[in-house]
Amino acid sequence: MLPHPPLAPPQEQIDADVARALAEDIGSGDVTAALLPDSADIAYLLCKQDAVIAGRPWFDATHRALDPEVKIHWRVLEGDRVSAGTVLATLEGRSRSLVSAERTSLNFLQTLSGTATITARHVEAVAGTGARILDTRKTLPGLRLAQKYAVRCGGGDNHRIGLFDTVMLKENHIRAAGSLGAAVRAARAQQPTLPLVVEVEDLQQLEQALAAGCERILIDDFSPAMRREAVRIAAGRIPLEVSGSVDLSVLRSIAEDGVDCISIGGLTKHVQAIDLSLKLGPPPA
């Protein structure tokens, strides 16, 4: 469990995600749920594998969109670790609404819990090193804020949210400006209030970035020896971030080299959903 569950996106964003998802699933009407009596019923939410839970706000909003009077009694918090067989919540509502909301609510919860779970594994792998695990913009279209929230539920941190909140200088910007220093000066002049991240390709560029100044330096695809030398040269003056070709098998060794951040696209790109089910009736004793 996290010390403090992360702040979810604005409710209007969650409601918009839910409305879009329900529209594609229900369309002109749920012809299968119409076969059920529209009477009061109960249901329980079961997690079938070990997981870190994320996505409660979307699950709740889905059910309340179809039945504003539904009662949802959660037994776990966002960011909680649960074992297979855990009953996560019980619900009281109209049987047709429970069934119609089932798949969409589970789609949100299983996807976001999957993101939180894999993030937690990466965070555990670097525990004690001081390195932070960051996500990237490699998110599912339309679910960026949701997935980045799930990363926080798993103990990770967010990189930039989009192209609007951080300036990132790469090879093309440096080439166009004529030098790394010139690119930094142009970025600062145009966007003086935004964080600036500079990607460098070698140790010479690293020295230039340190001299020019920025909020973080991205050392992409450095060899282990170059990475350790970069840490020595930077000496804590500006945080160093590693990105590219990073997976769990090498994560610990990268962190132990002394870098400050490791960004991993697979947290949100390679989604392995958590196995969940919503069943009508009382939970098992």
The residue annotated as part of the active site, out of 64, 75, 137, 138, is: 138
- Residue 279: pLDDT over 90: yes
The residue annotated as part of the active site, out of 64, 103, 252, 279, is: 103
- Residue 113: pLDDT over 70: yes
Percent of the chain with pLDDT over 90: 92
Condensed to tens digits (0 to 9), the pLDDT of residues 161-205 reads 999 999 999 999 999 999 999 999 999 999 999 999 999 999 999
**Structural domains present in the chain:** 11-123+271-280 (3.90.1170.20), 129-269 (3.20.20.70)
279 assigned to active site: no
What DSSP line would sit under 54-116, residue for residue? Answer: --HHHHHHHHHHH-TT-EEEESS-TT-EE-TTEEEEEEEEEHHHHHHHHHHHHHHHHHHHHHH
- Residue 3: pLDDT over 70: no
Structure-token pair, residue 127:
């525990």
Read off the DSSP letter of residue 248. H
Determine the pLDDT at residue 220. 84
- Residue 267: pLDDT over 80: yes
Determine the pLDDT at residue 4. 67
What is d(CA 55, CA 199) in angstroms, rounded to the nearest whole number? 33
Q: Which of 127, 120, 147 is nearest to 51 (CA)?
A: 120
Condensed to tens digits (0 to 9), the pLDDT of residues 139-170 reads 999 999 999 999 999 999 999 999 999 999 99
103 assigned to active site: yes
Determine the pLDDT at residue 222. 92
Sign of CA dihedral 107, 109, 115, 117: negative
Binning pLDDT at 50, 70 and 90, where does residue 1 land?
Answer: low
Question: Identity (one letter) of the amino acid at 61?
Answer: A
203-212 vs 224-234: helix crossing angle, rounded to 10:
30
Residues contacting residue 23 through CB under 8 Å, at least 6 positions apart: none
Given a contact cutoff of 8 angstroms between Cβ atoms, the answer to whether 279 and 46 are in contact is yes
Given a contact cutoff of 8 angstroms between Cβ atoms, the answer to whether 148 and 139 are in contact is yes
Binning pLDDT at 50, 70 and 90, where does residue 285 land?
Answer: confident
Binning pLDDT at 50, 70 and 90, where does residue 245 land?
Answer: confident
144-153 vs 11-26: helix crossing angle, rounded to 10:
120
Determine the pLDDT at residue 13. 97
The residue annotated as part of the active site, out of 199, 241, 257, 260, is: 199
Determine the pLDDT at residue 36. 86
The residue annotated as part of the active site, out of 64, 121, 170, 269, is: 170
92 assigned to active site: no
138 assigned to active site: yes
Q: What is the pTM of this model?
A: 0.94
Binning pLDDT at 50, 70 and 90, where does residue 283 land?
Answer: very high
